[in-house]
Amino acid sequence: MADLLSRPLIEIARALRENQTTAQGLLEQAIGRHERFGERLHAYLLWAPDKGRAVASAADAAFAAGVIAGPLQGLPISIKDLFAAEGFPCFAGSSRPLPASPWEEDGPLVATLRRQLGVITGKTHMVEFAFGGTGLNSHHGAPRNPWDATAHRSPGGSSSGAGVSLIEGSALLALGSDTAGSVRIPASMTGTVGLKVTLGRWSTEGVVPLSYSFDTPGLLARSVTDAAYGFAALDPALGDAERFLAKCGMLALDGIRIAVDDPFFWDSCDPGIAEAAREAVDALAREGAVLRPAALPEAAEAYAVFLEGGVSAIELRSFLDQELPDWLDQLDPIMASTVRGAEAPSARDYLARLGRPRTLARRAVPRFDGIDVIATPTLCITPPVLSEIGSPETYLAANRRIVRNTFAVNYLGLCGITLPVGLDRAGMPVGLQFIAPAWAEQKLLAIALAAEQVLGTVRERLGTPPLLAA
């Protein structure tokens, strides 16, 4: 089957099961994409074609014997460098690998992937210890955003290589993590789909922590269809991925209640962002979705907590002090001062910063009465040129804007998804974010899938990224 990599995951999985193609052949296509674009895009810290070939061979042997290990069998998948995985050193974006025990031992999510004979293509680049949304990394360099063929723009972070690996075509799903938007930010900036699940839905065991209080594993995909398939495949509570996808696909937009126009999310966006997001929302309304002006005031209050310092730096400093005490001296200079300063807040200050989001989360629950999802631009900022944010001051200002529209989903205990809906005036992707209550991933995915059927996938709506066409 020619150009199999461009097909939806569910079709590729069926082709593998029905012996219309092989996992080894699929992987070789993915390897070919990396050989063509990898040096230019710089998505991977560790590219592992030989390890992938061994698993693909095992997947083919299982198919030949009539054994189906799971819905991810034979599919190429990239994992962020903060996921522990046997046989792969874990740098967490730092300058040297973390101790092999426990950081080269499969955690639950990676173990689920391996049990299904999913093919790990490698470990993707990230911001050091996931502390930031720009993609900058002074140790290993930043991946390139493929939507600008001339300037080196932010690919988003902290899962900076994840979206790039999907656009490159070397992976069909990508594991990332999301503490303040680190799945949705790179997905939005690269024109892919990013799913942030409810805190506690997926285990963080085997994932290098940034914030014990807010870390969540997440998933990036080329389409909502693929994201729904991958979500069900990785979530032990859901069972059959094809049935889950079919169930999500039964929802129609007619009557779906979408909250819009909260000034916190929609105002002060860079040129073309709010316009593209609003055009997409209006297209959904023409198909029967009901738009309701509604606000989530707790989002602005949660953001104020973040601007005061939040808890991530304190909890990262705690992890480093306990587990990696000699790491402080080698941290990226841009983040080092913040992490060093995290020893200053008192226990009282820390507990107060934790308590406020919990209060805000309780207050936010009734905001969803009478609506199904809240729609916002995923980001308010065009992906910045990295050379323009290389100082601590410019970096901090850019990072604050990057997380503005994503941060509240984490602090308010919600789930969210971003899908690509257009280009801004700089020609960079614009994401539309849907926010739903905790544990409402199935409805969230069903609404996003219905929206994608109206709006189209990234390829249908945005075309080919200029760096891949050059």
- The position carrying tokens 């503490």 is 179
> What pLDDT does 159 receive?
98
SS3 assignment, position 215: coil
223 is catalytic: no
Tokens of 434: 């849907």
Work out the widest C-alpha separation in the chain, in whole angstroms: 62
State the DSSP code for 378: S
Domain ranges (residues) in the chain: 4-469
- Taking a C-beta distance cutoff of 8 angstroms, is the pair 34, 170 a contact? yes
Q: Which listed CATH number (3.40.50.1370, 3.40.80.10, 3.50.50.60, 3.90.1300.10) goes with 4-469?
A: 3.90.1300.10
> What pLDDT does 470 receive?
67
Of residues 165, 118, 134, 36, the one with CA closest to residue 335: 134
> What pLDDT does 459 receive?
81
Other CB atoms within a 10 A radius of the CB of residue 353 amount to 18
Of residues 268, 213, 279, the one with CA closest to residue 405: 268
* DSSP code string of 277-303: HHHHHHHHHHTTPEEEE---HHHHHHH
182 is catalytic: yes
SS3 assignment, position 233: helix
Catalytic residue among 78, 94, 154, 158: 158
Other CB atoms within a 10 A radius of the CB of residue 114 amount to 18
* Pairwise CA distance, residues 285 & 95, whole Å: 49
* Pairwise CA distance, residues 354 & 449, whole Å: 34
* Pairwise CA distance, residues 104 & 86, whole Å: 5
Radius of gyration of the chain (CA): 21
Spell out where 106-263 has E strands. 119-124, 173-178, 193-196, 216-221, 257-260
* Pairwise CA distance, residues 221 & 341, whole Å: 36
Residues of the chain with pLDDT under 70: 1-2, 470
Distances (CA, A) of 422 to 134, 308, 431, 457, 459: 21, 33, 7, 10, 11
pLDDT per position as a tens digit, 448-458: 999 999 999 88
Catalytic residue among 78, 80, 211, 443: 80
Sheet containing 415-423, strands listed edge to edge, beginning at the edge strand earlier in sequence:
44-47, 119-124, 76-80, 173-178, 216-221, 193-196, 415-423, 429-436, 373-377, 257-260, 290-293
Catalytic residue among 182, 211, 213, 223: 182
Distances (CA, A) of 170 to 119, 364, 380: 11, 40, 29
Phi, psi of 194 (to 5 degrees): -130, 130
158 is catalytic: yes
Which helix (H) or strand (E) segment holds residue 318: the answer is helix 312-323
> What pLDDT does 1 receive?
45
pLDDT per position as a tens digit, 322-374: 999 999 999 999 889 899 989 888 899 899 889 999 999 999 999 999 999 99
> What pLDDT does 461 receive?
82
